Amino acid sequence: MTAWAVVIPEERYDRERLFRYDTVELPGLRGPAPGDDVLLVVGETRCDAKAGGAPQVVAVGRVRAEEPGGPGATGAATVVEYTRRLFDDPQPADHIALDGALTKLDPAAYRAVIDRIGPRPGISTWLVSVDLPIEAESPAEAVRQFWTYVMELGPSELPAFVWPTGQELAMQAYVLGMEANLDPEEDDEE
């Protein structure tokens, strides 16, 4: 088996960071075969400031074998199944000499990145809430309007509130998958 680094486009990165998918389709890649390991890398333009502009590894996966007639059957897309998501804690890709959108990796460079990632964190239970005051003629109509607002506003405008179970005072607002300050008084103080 071989290991690869794939630089994903900004739009794909935003979508993968916002929603949870089991796989990611990477159209037009030639080289990775079923069973190969893949590091998904976000390029310099989307990197966290703490990384100093260097590319970062945002996920680890394995190329999945597709059923005949599936998306990979015609060679149109390589399908990578996630084995680890690092969108909330990207790792520097400084051990990787990237050569465009697809780079075949030296086993030692791949292992260095995997070793840096460390063990998977434990699972916690979180409460997530989206609260909207809705005026409606009935509970069912209120629910319909709620789902319409959720679809129309989406994660770019509608804050979701999240907190660990039993720790309501730790509630944080998230917009676009990132922590957001919704207190207008704090904005005025700055």
Q: Could you give the CA distance from residue 98 to residue 95 in angstroms, rounded to a whole number?
A: 9
Residues 6+ apart with CB under 8 A from 141: none
Residue that terminates a domain, selected from 87, 117, 147: 117
Task: State residue 63's pLDDT score.
Answer: 96
Write the CATH number for 42.
Answer: 3.10.590
Residue 158 domain boundaries: 126-189
Backbone phi and psi for residue 27, each to the nearest 5 degrees, phi listed first: -70, 145
Q: 167 with 88, same domain? A: no
Output 50 or 177, whichever has higher pLDDT: 177
pLDDT above 80 for 164: yes
Q: Same domain, yes or no, for 169 and 75?
A: no
pTM for the model stands at 0.77
* Domain identity same for 65 and 159: no
12 and 99 both lie in a single domain: yes
User: Tell me: the pLDDT tens digits for 75-122?
Assistant: 568 999 999 999 988 999 887 888 888 999 999 999 999 999 988 888
What's the pLDDT band for 50 if we cut at 50, 70, 90?
very low
Number of C-beta neighbours around residue 77 at 10 A: 17
pLDDT digits (tens, 9 = 90+) for 165-180: 999 999 999 998 889 9
Residues 77 and 106 in one domain: yes
Is 36 in contact with 79 (CB distance < 8 Å)? Answer: no
Number of domains forming the structure of the chain: 2
**Domain's final residue, options 100, 117, 134:** 117
